[in-house]
Amino acid sequence: MKKLHGLSRRIALTVASLVLFVMLATVASTYVFYALMFRYAPTYVSDADQWLPTDAEWGWIGATTAVAVVLAVAVAVKLARRLLVPLTSVADGLRRVSLGDLDVRADRADSALGEASHLVDDFNTMAERLRRMAREQAFWNAAIAHELRTPVTILRGRLQGLAEGVFEPDVKLFRNLLGQVEHLGGLIEDLRVVGLAESGHLALRLAPCRLADELRSVVDLLAPDLQAAGFAPAVDLDDGEVTCDAARIRQALLALLDNARRHASPGTLAVHLRVAGGLARLTVTDSGPGIDPALTTSIFDAFQRGAKARADAGSGLGLAVVRAIAQAHGGQAVCHAAATGGTTFEMAWPAPSTRND
C-alpha cells in the first residue's frame, strides 16, 4: 500500500478517527441503553425471537444516527474550511494578479492545513517577487532611457550640424563624436554584464594567471588620467598564480579606479591584492570624502549614486559591474569606511593560488 504523506495523510487520519469515534460511541451507547432498559423497562426491549426493534429501540437507533450525522457534518465542514479558505484566497489572488494587481496577497487561515498553508506562502512569495520585478523593470527602463538620452542627443545634434554645414568638420569635433560613441559602447557593455549576471548567465573563462601583472597593467593604463586628476596610485599586489577570469577582474578594477577618479577627493589611491587561504581580495582605497553609511548596502546597485555624484557624467553602472563580476566568481563586493577617512571598496572571491616566496 502506498504510503500517505502530508495532506492526504491528514485527511485519512481525520476520517479514520471520525469513523472510529462513531463506532466506539455506538458500541458504548448500546451497552448503556440496554443496561438501562433491562433494569428499568424490560418490557420495551424486543424478545430474542423478535426480529423487528421496538419503538424504544427505533428511537435509540434514530438518535444515535442523528448524532453521528451531525458529528460527521461538523467535522467535514471544519476540514473543508481549513482546506477551502486558503485555496479560495489563492484562486482569488491569481485572478487579480492576472488582471495586473501585483499588490494582492492571499490570506492564510490560522487553522489551515500544512500544504494549504505552504501554498499560500508560496503564492505570496511569488506575488512579492513579481511586484519587485515589475518595479525593477520600470526603474531600469527609466534609468536606461535617461542614460542613453544625453549621448544620443549630443551625437544627433553634432551630426545634424555637420550635415547642415553648421559645424566645420575638424579633428576636435570628430574626437568628441568618437568619445560619445565610446561612452555609449561602454554603457551598453555595462548593461550587458549586469543583465547577464542578474539572469545567472554571465560566463567566465577561469584559468590560472599572474593576476598581479594583469592588475598592474590596468593601473599603468589609467595612471596618466589619475595623476592629471590629482591622484597618486599606490600599488601593493601579492604575486603568484590566481585562478580567475583575468579579463573580468581587469574590468572590475577599471570600474573601481574610474569610480574613484570621478567621486573621490584627490590624494593617495591604494590598490591592494591579497591572496591567502584560497581567497583573493582586491581593494581600492581612496582618501575621502567617504560615503554616507546608509549607502554602503546599496552603493553597488545599478544607477545608485551618492548626492555628490548625481550631476556626474558617469552611468551609475560601474559598481554594479564590480558586484556582478564578484558574484559570478562566487564572491562578493562590499565597501566600508577606511582609516584614511575615505572609503575602501573590496572585491573578494574564492581563488586557489600558488604564492611565489
Structure confidence at residue 305 (pLDDT): 55
Structure confidence at residue 111 (pLDDT): 57
Q: Is the per-residue pLDDT at 22 higher than 90?
A: no
Mean pLDDT of 6-24: 66
Residue ranges and CATH numbers for the domains of the chain are: 6-128 (no CATH), 135-198 (1.10.287), 207-354 (3.30.565.10)
Select from 264, 305, 299, 300 the least CA-distant residue to 285.
264
Q: Is the per-residue pLDDT at 271 higher than 90?
A: yes
Per-residue pLDDT reduced to its tens digit, 275-297: 888 889 999 999 878 787 777 77
Q: What distance, in Å, lies between the first and last C-alpha atoms of the chain?
A: 67
Higher pLDDT, 229 or 313: 229
Mean pLDDT of 92-98: 84
Question: pLDDT confidence of 140, banded at 50, 70, 90?
Answer: low
Q: Which cell is 209 given?
A: 594567471
Question: pLDDT confidence of 347, banded at 50, 70, 90?
Answer: very high
In the sheet that holds 343-350, the strands lie side by side as 232-237, 268-276, 279-285, 343-350, 332-337
Longest CA span, the chain: 127
Q: Is the per-residue pLDDT at 2 higher than 50?
A: no
Q: Is the per-residue pLDDT at 6 higher than 60?
A: no
Q: Is the per-residue pLDDT at 303 higher than 70?
A: no
Which residues, at least 6 apart from 325, have a Cβ–Cβ distance to it below 8 Å? Answer: 193, 197, 202, 245, 248, 249, 251, 252, 347
Structure confidence at residue 4 (pLDDT): 41
Structure confidence at residue 1 (pLDDT): 40
Structure confidence at residue 234 (pLDDT): 92
Q: Are 314 and 241 in contact, with CB atoms under 8 Å apart?
A: no
Mean pLDDT computed over every residue of the chain: 77
Structure confidence at residue 96 (pLDDT): 86
The verdict on whether omega for the bond into residue 293 sits within 30 degrees of 0, i.e. cis, is no
Mean pLDDT of 49-64: 66
- Answer whether 0.75 is exceeded by the pTM: no
Q: Is the per-residue pLDDT at 57 higher than 70?
A: no
Mean pLDDT of 244-259: 88
Structure confidence at residue 49 (pLDDT): 54
Mean pLDDT of 32-49: 68
Mean pLDDT of 66-89: 74
Question: pLDDT confidence of 50, banded at 50, 70, 90?
Answer: low
Structure confidence at residue 310 (pLDDT): 42
The long-range contacts involving 130-135, CB below 8 angstroms and separated by at least 24 positions, are 130/97, 130/102, 131/102, 131/103, 134/102
Per-residue pLDDT reduced to its tens digit, 171-213: 888 887 887 787 677 777 777 777 777 767 778 888 888 999 9
